[in-house]
Structure formats: C-alpha cells, structure tokens
C-alpha cells in the first residue's frame, strides 16, 4: 500500500523551491497546462529505505480537494542535519530540535504558505 499526500498552493513553484532546498525533496514530475500554470507536481523525499512521494498543484477556486493547510510528519535518521539545512535555507522554524518524551528527536518548520513539516526519528509501532 502507498499513501500519497496532495497539497494545494497559491504559488506551487515557490513551494517546490522550499521543499527541495530546505528539506531535500527531489522533483519527479512537473506538469503545466497550456497557460503555463503548474497543475501537478510530484516530489520524492528519501530517507534510508523509505520514500515519501507528495503531489502538489496550484490552488483553484473550484477545487473540492483543497482542504487548506496541513501538518505532516516525515521520519528520518538524522534530524540534526536536516534541521541545519532547513535553517540555512531560511525556513520558518516552528519547533527547534527537541528530544520528546516518547523517544523521538524532531523539529518542525512551516513552508511559505503555512503548512507545517515535522521531521524526526519517531517511527510508529517501534
């Protein structure tokens, strides 16, 4: 089973720039319409043997799937390095590196449109 997250942005190109520079996502596919509007993009985020794929596109007034902002959690082995990368890229830090009571070391940043990306060592079920 795969889970694919889908987000809508007012400026999807700025979101892609943030996700690739601050968090290390890589572009898989970019699709535009005849007017040049980015309608669909796929980005991958890799850590160890895990790959997360997200889809994003331009926000449209008639989009019933646009639910607003999201809070997402990505597991990683080295949150310190990712935190430093995000800070160097100018990310808005929502929560600095924190050692949680449940055993995770994690941090959170907001993307330019307010979605919160948490990254840490927590792996459910372990």
Q: What is the pLDDT of residue 1?
A: 54
- CA 103 from chain center: how many Å? 22
Domains by residue range for the chain, with CATH:
5-59+68-120 (3.10.180.10)
Name the residue among 31, 26, 52 with its Cα closest to residue 41.
31
Please report how many Cα atoms fall inside a 13 Å half-sphere around the Cα of residue 76, on the Cβ side.
Answer: 21
Q: What is the pLDDT of residue 113?
A: 95
Residue 60: C-alpha distances to residues 24, 53, 115, 124 (Å): 27, 22, 17, 34
Average pLDDT rounded to a whole number, residues 44-50: 69
Average pLDDT rounded to a whole number, residues 30-39: 93
Band (pLDDT 50/70/90 cuts) for residue 38 is: very high
Average pLDDT rounded to a whole number, residues 32-61: 84
List of residues 6+ apart from 91 with CB closer than 8 A:
18, 22, 23, 109, 110, 111
Band (pLDDT 50/70/90 cuts) for residue 101 is: very high
Res. 40: pLDDT tops 80 = yes
Q: What is the pLDDT of residue 64?
A: 85
Band (pLDDT 50/70/90 cuts) for residue 49 is: low
- Rg over alpha carbons for the chain, rounded to the nearest Å, is 15
Whole-structure pTM value: 0.88
**How many of the other CB atoms lie within 10 Å of CB of 24?**
19
Torsion of CA 91, 95, 99, 104, to 10 degrees: -70
CA distance 38 to 126: 39
Query: What is the rounded average pLDDT for all residues in the chain?
Result: 90
């Amino acid at each position: 089973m795969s889970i694919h997250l889908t987000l809508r942005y007012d400026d999807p190109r700025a979101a892609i720039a943030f996700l690739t520079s601050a968090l290390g996502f890589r572009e898989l596919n970019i699709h535009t319409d005849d007017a040049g509007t980015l309608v669909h993009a796929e980005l991958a985020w890799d850590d160890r043997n895990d790959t997360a794929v997200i889809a994003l596109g331009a926000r449209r007034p008639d989009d019933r799937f646009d639910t607003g902002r999201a809070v997402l959690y990505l597991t990683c082995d080295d949150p310190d390095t990712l935190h430093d990368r995000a800070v160097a890229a100018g990310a808005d830090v929502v929560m600095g590196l924190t050692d949680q009571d449940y055993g995770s070391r994690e941090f959170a940043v907001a993307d330019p449109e307010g979605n919160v990306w948490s990254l840490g060592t927590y792996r459910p079920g372990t």
